[in-house]
Amino acid sequence: MFMKRIKALIFPLILVGTLVAAGCAKKSPDATGLVKLTDRVYAMVASGPTAAEGLGANSGFVAGDDGVLVIDARYTPQLANDLLKAIRSVTSAPIRYVVNTHYHPDHSWGNMVFKAQGAVIVARPETRDALLKYSPAYLEFYKERSADVYELLRDVRITAPDTTFGDETEIDLGGVKVALRYFGPAHTAGDCVVIVPKDKVAFVGGLLSNGYHPNMGDPGADFDKWIAARDRLRASKFAYVVPGQGKVCGAAELAAESRYIATIRNQCEQDIRKMVPLEQAVSTIVIPGAETYLQPNLLPFNVQAVYRREMMRVVQPDFAIDLPAEFQIADGGGTAKLGFIRWAAELKEGSLEIDTQWKVTSSREVIVQDVADVVARYSKTGNVDMKIEGSKRIDVGGEKAIASYGSWALKSAAGIPGRGVWTWTLVIRGDKIYSIRLVADAGGDRKGALENLAYLEKLASTFRIKPRAS
Ligand SMILES: [Zn+2]
**DSSP per-residue string spanning 119-166:** PEEEE-HHHHHHHHHHHHHHHHHHHHH-HHHHHHHTT------SEE--
- Domain identity same for 185 and 48: yes
Ligand 1 centroid distance, CA of 187 (Å): 7
Report if residue 288 sits inside a domain.
Answer: no
| Cβ neighbours for 288, distance < 8 A, ≥ 6 positions apart | 263
**Tell me, what amino acid is at 204?**
V
Ligand 1 centroid distance, CA of 246 (Å): 13
Ligand 1 centroid distance, CA of 400 (Å): 47
Give me the CATH number covering residue 101: 3.60.15.10
Cβ atoms of residues 203 and 71 within 8 Å: yes
Ligand 1 centroid distance, CA of 148 (Å): 21
Cβ atoms of residues 332 and 272 within 8 Å: yes
- Provide the residue range defining the domain that includes 36: 16-262
Ligand 1 centroid distance, CA of 298 (Å): 12
- Domain identity same for 245 and 320: no
Among candidate residues 242, 262, 282, the one where a domain is terminated:
262
| Cβ neighbours for 158, distance < 8 A, ≥ 6 positions apart | 109, 131, 132, 135, 136, 139
Report if residue 294 sits inside a domain.
Answer: no
- The pTM (predicted TM-score) of the whole model is 0.81
Ligand 1 centroid distance, CA of 107 (Å): 7
What CA–CA distance (Å, rounded) separates 212 from 210?
5
Report if residue 285 sits inside a domain.
Answer: no
Residue 368: per-residue pLDDT: 54
- Domain identity same for 240 and 326: no
SS3 339: strand
- Domain identity same for 81 and 200: yes
DSSP secondary structure code for residue 320 in this structure: B
| Cβ neighbours for 75, distance < 8 A, ≥ 6 positions apart | 51, 54, 55, 57, 105, 106, 107, 109, 110, 152, 153
Ligand 1 centroid distance, CA of 102 (Å): 7
Q: Is the dihedral of CA 135, 137, 139, 141 positive or negative?
A: negative
- Domain identity same for 365 and 223: no
Ligand 1 centroid distance, CA of 7 (Å): 23
- Domain identity same for 208 and 356: no
How many C-beta neighbours within 10 Å does residue 59 have?
Answer: 31
Ligand 1 centroid distance, CA of 271 (Å): 27
Ligand 1 centroid distance, CA of 66 (Å): 30
Ligand 1 centroid distance, CA of 126 (Å): 13
What CA–CA distance (Å, rounded) separates 422 from 400?
18
Residue 192: per-residue pLDDT: 97
Ligand 1 centroid distance, CA of 131 (Å): 12
How many C-beta neighbours within 10 Å does residue 273 have?
Answer: 14
- Domain identity same for 248 and 395: no
Ligand 1 centroid distance, CA of 182 (Å): 15
Ligand 1 centroid distance, CA of 317 (Å): 31
Ligand 1 centroid distance, CA of 458 (Å): 37
Q: How far is CA 464 from the centre of its chain?
A: 28
- Domain identity same for 258 and 320: no
123: nearest Cα among 169, 89, 66, 88: 169
Cβ atoms of residues 424 and 345 within 8 Å: no
| Cβ neighbours for 450, distance < 8 A, ≥ 6 positions apart | 421, 440
- Domain identity same for 239 and 95: yes
Ligand 1 centroid distance, CA of 211 (Å): 14
Ligand 1 centroid distance, CA of 76 (Å): 15
- Domain identity same for 228 and 355: no
Among candidate residues 241, 262, 283, the one where a domain is terminated:
262
Among candidate residues 198, 232, 262, the one where a domain is terminated:
262
Report if residue 298 sits inside a domain.
Answer: no
Residue 177: per-residue pLDDT: 98
What CA–CA distance (Å, rounded) separates 161 from 121?
5
Residue 369: per-residue pLDDT: 57
Residue 394: per-residue pLDDT: 83
Cis peptide before 185 (omega within 30 of 0): yes
SS3 59: strand
Ligand 1 centroid distance, CA of 429 (Å): 45
Report if residue 231 sits inside a domain.
Answer: yes
Q: Could you tell me the mean pLDDT of each successive run of 10 residues in the chain, 470 residues long? A: 41 34 42 94 96 97 98 98 97 98 98 98 98 92 91 96 97 98 96 97 97 94 95 93 95 91 94 86 94 95 91 81 84 76 84 86 57 74 79 82 83 61 80 84 81 89 72
| Cβ neighbours for 410, distance < 8 A, ≥ 6 positions apart | 1, 383, 384, 385, 416, 417, 418, 419
Per-residue pLDDT reduced to its tens digit, 59-90: 999 999 999 999 999 999 999 999 999 999 99
Ligand 1 centroid distance, CA of 106 (Å): 7
Ligand 1 centroid distance, CA of 21 (Å): 24
Ligand 1 centroid distance, CA of 60 (Å): 15
| Cβ neighbours for 255, distance < 8 A, ≥ 6 positions apart | 230, 234
Ligand 1 centroid distance, CA of 91 (Å): 28
Ligand 1 centroid distance, CA of 321 (Å): 30
Residue 213: per-residue pLDDT: 97
Q: Is the dihedral of CA 412, 415, 416, 421 positive or negative?
A: negative
Residue 336: per-residue pLDDT: 64
Per-residue pLDDT reduced to its tens digit, 223-253: 999 999 999 999 999 999 999 999 999 888 9
Cβ atoms of residues 193 and 232 within 8 Å: no
Cβ atoms of residues 68 and 96 within 8 Å: yes
- Domain identity same for 92 and 193: yes
Report if residue 435 sits inside a domain.
Answer: yes
DSSP 191-249: -EEEEEGGGTEEEEEEEEESSB------TT--HHHHHHHHHHHHHTT-SEEEEEESS-B
How many domains, in total, are found in the chain? 2
CA angle 135/137/139 to nearest 5° reads 70
Report if residue 302 sits inside a domain.
Answer: no
Ligand 1 centroid distance, CA of 245 (Å): 9
Report if residue 468 sits inside a domain.
Answer: no
Ligand 1 centroid distance, CA of 214 (Å): 8
